[in-house]
Chain A
Amino acid sequence: MNSASNIPLGTVIQGKWHHHHYRIVKELGKGANGIVYLAESPNGQVALKVSDDSMLIASEVNVLKSFSKAPVKTMGPSFYDMDDAIYPGMLQKRSFYVMEYVRGPLLLEFVKQKGDEWIVVLMVQLLSNLAHLHQEGWIFGDLKPDNLIVSGPPAAIRCIDVGGTTKAGRAIKEYTEFFDRGYWGFGTRKAEPSYDLFALSMVMVNCAYKKEFKKEAEPEKQLYRAIEGHPLLKRYERVLKAALQGKYQSAAAMKSAMLKEGQLIASRKASQKKQQQKNGQKPAVQQNQQVTSRSRVAAAKRTPVRKKSGGLFETVLIVCSVLALYCAYVVLFLL
């Protein structure tokens, strides 16, 4: 069944029906049912998926085509071509499709490089994308960091494998255990928005811990413990638990809950700071201790807070000077 054999690099694949040529540059990834290559076409670099199963290729192209519709356009790769392969040394019938080559690090790599403060930002972005996709009647299904690339700048999260994408109301086509609601005993594998939202929450857990873990005897409690046991996840505890339990009916609802929680945290922090200053204490002695214990994360989080107040002052200054200039313009030239 897994008979997908490699195509030598440099091979030129020709399409039987549309007669386009593609030169294989390197392997990008290998799955149970096909291999994805980086290839060169007359129009530049593309990603090309080859499989022995022509019907599977047809089925994935169906999904890619609907991804090319307006609002969800930026979520998945654009679709270019689909054909049967002809190349020297081909042993059995093979089909392929050609799509946009999405450049950028995988989600986990990106977070490791740039810091944990990006996790929430990217998850909110992903929720916007999912909201559009769900509106079109599709559920992404196999949502996991390996299928997510952060392209840019500006950083934009994109999905690269649409093999699990399923029409709403059907049974999820493909999934990965750690991110699957059924595996953790939180519900069915029916394609509905809450299925993707569960997976998204697990992506967030995975990003925070930088690893997956095996299911234990009490999976429900285990996941709750994981959320409570990490400072970033703990902050979004209410949202994450509600998402795991399938309480959000739409991605938009989860997005606004997440943003609200973020604001709450910011204002709580600000009021804490004021309180401390009122009491005449030096601010954040305790926080400094935390900085030593989880140095980078906390440090990274503290700087933007200071920046924000500076930013507000700057904005006011700029707005004032622009207003003054505009008044001068009106007075001097128009009157």
Chain B
Amino acid sequence: MRKGHVNQILLITDGCSNHGEDPLAIASLAKEQGITVNVIGIMEENRHDHEAMKEVEGIALAGGGIHQVVYVQQLSQTVQMVTKKAMTQTLQGVVNKELQQILGKDTEIEELPPDKRGEVMEVVDELGETVHLQVLVLVDTSASMKPKLPTVKEALIDLSISLNSRIGENQFGMCIFPGKNSDAEIVLNWTPRFDSLSSIFPKLTTGGITPTGPALREALQHFKSVRSRKGLLEAKEEHDEFGF
């Protein structure tokens, strides 16, 4: 079997977008292109921003992904759980589609008798282990995020330890918003490891606005740039793209 691809955007934010286009619209666009948008909202101990948390949920829903709202201390485990769970969800979707082709339209994994489910789950687990995973992390660097950035860095390095323990390949990238001179700025190009983050994070500056929508658009562009380049080199692999 040829190896498939799973593409994800992971958005880490602590507030509402307040600049540029609607992030929900861009998230829907991402989903259409086979890129799942997952969102982690960081809560403050004594301040609940309902508006922001509603947006967190909305973006994930539109982007076909998973959302989770946590305190900053739980970030490491959450980043990992969300990424893995979303990947499993995507793969289950793929397997589900295959099953429907074989067994008929209305067959879902849940409709199978318990014994058979185990076998299907084996296939999903196997895919999750070997699939090529590409994650672009979007980090909110508005002023309120400043004290949380060291924890974000730790969490991302930890994520790369986990994912690099898999058999499959990984590509990570990172984009911050707002950027130095624009709404969003790619600070780390595609790389198999997140180790280089340690040198990037101290240089990050935080700014005032939260242009979540434009940042998502920038992220999409970044996926595209890789694809078109890859398209020239290994046109064949495009056929194995998971997601729809």
* Residues of A in contact with B (beta carbons under 8 Å apart): 1, 17-18, 32, 54-55, 58-59, 61-62, 65, 82-84, 93, 95, 167, 169-172, 177, 182-183, 188-191
In the assembled complex, the Cα of A82 lies from the Cα of B116 at a distance in Å of 11
Q: Residue B121 contacts which of A62, A167, A172 (CB distance < 8 angstroms)? A: A62
Q: Is the CB of B165 within 8 A of A190?
A: yes
Q: Is the CB of A171 within 8 A of B165?
A: yes
Residues of the A chain whose Cβ atoms lie less than 8 Å from the Cβ of B171: none
Which stretch (B17-25, B48-56, B107-115, B218-226) binds chain A?
Answer: B107-115
Residues of the B chain whose Cβ atoms lie less than 8 Å from the Cβ of A182: 158, 161-162, 165
Q: Is the CB of A171 within 8 A of B129?
A: yes
Q: Is the CB of A83 within 8 A of B166?
A: no
- By secondary structure, the B interface counts as helix
Given contacts A1-B68, A58-B120, A183-B158, whether A17 and B109 have CB atoms under 8 Å apart is no
Given contacts A171-B162, A188-B161, whether A54 and B117 have CB atoms under 8 Å apart is yes
In the assembled complex, the Cα of A93 lies from the Cα of B66 at a distance in Å of 19
In the assembled complex, the Cα of A83 lies from the Cα of B118 at a distance in Å of 12
Is B200's beta carbon under 8 Å from chain A? no
What residue in chain B is nearest A188 (Cβ atoms)?
B165
Q: Is the CB of A189 within 8 A of B165?
A: yes
In the assembled complex, the Cα of A270 lies from the Cα of B124 at a distance in Å of 57
In the assembled complex, the Cα of A35 lies from the Cα of B129 at a distance in Å of 27
Most buried by B among A61, A167, A171, A177: A171
Is B77's beta carbon under 8 Å from chain A? yes
Is B164's beta carbon under 8 Å from chain A? yes
The 9 A-B pairs at the shortest CB distance, nearest first, are namely A58-B117, A171-B165, A189-B165, A190-B165, A171-B166, A58-B121, A188-B165, A182-B161, A59-B121
Q: Residue B166 contacts which of A54, A93, A170 (CB distance < 8 angstroms)? A: A170
Q: Residue B77 contacts which of A95, A172, A177 (CB distance < 8 angstroms)? A: A177
Complex A-B: 11 CB contacts under 8 Å: A1-B85, A32-B81, A54-B109, A54-B110, A55-B117, A55-B121, A58-B118, A62-B118, A171-B129, A171-B165, A177-B76
Q: Is the CB of B66 within 8 A of A172?
A: no
Taking the closest CB of chain B, its distance from the CB of A171, in whole angstroms, is: 4
Residues of the B chain whose Cβ atoms lie less than 8 Å from the Cβ of A58: 114, 117-118, 120-121
Taking the closest CB of chain B, its distance from the CB of A86, in whole angstroms, is: 14
Q: Is the CB of A55 within 8 A of B161?
A: no
What residue in chain A is nearest B163 (Cβ atoms)?
A171
What residue in chain B is nearest A215 (Cβ atoms)?
B154
Q: Is the CB of A55 within 8 A of B114?
A: no
Given contacts A55-B109, A171-B129, A171-B165, whether A83 and B114 have CB atoms under 8 Å apart is yes
Given contacts A54-B109, A170-B167, A190-B165, whether A82 and B125 have CB atoms under 8 Å apart is no
Taking the closest CB of chain B, its distance from the CB of A82, in whole angstroms, is: 5
Q: Residue A84 contacts which of B81, B114, B124 (CB distance < 8 angstroms)? A: B114
Residues of the A chain whose Cβ atoms lie less than 8 Å from the Cβ of B68: 1
What residue in chain A is nearest B116 (Cβ atoms)?
A58
Interface 1/0s, chain B 153-183, versus A by CB < 8 A? 0000010011111110000000000000000
Contacts A17-B113, A171-B163 known; 11 new A-B pairs at CB < 8 A: A1-B66, A54-B110, A55-B92, A61-B114, A61-B118, A62-B121, A62-B122, A172-B165, A183-B158, A188-B164, A189-B162
In the assembled complex, the Cα of A177 lies from the Cα of B161 at a distance in Å of 13
In the assembled complex, the Cα of A59 lies from the Cα of B121 at a distance in Å of 6
Residues of the A chain whose Cβ atoms lie less than 8 Å from the Cβ of B85: 1
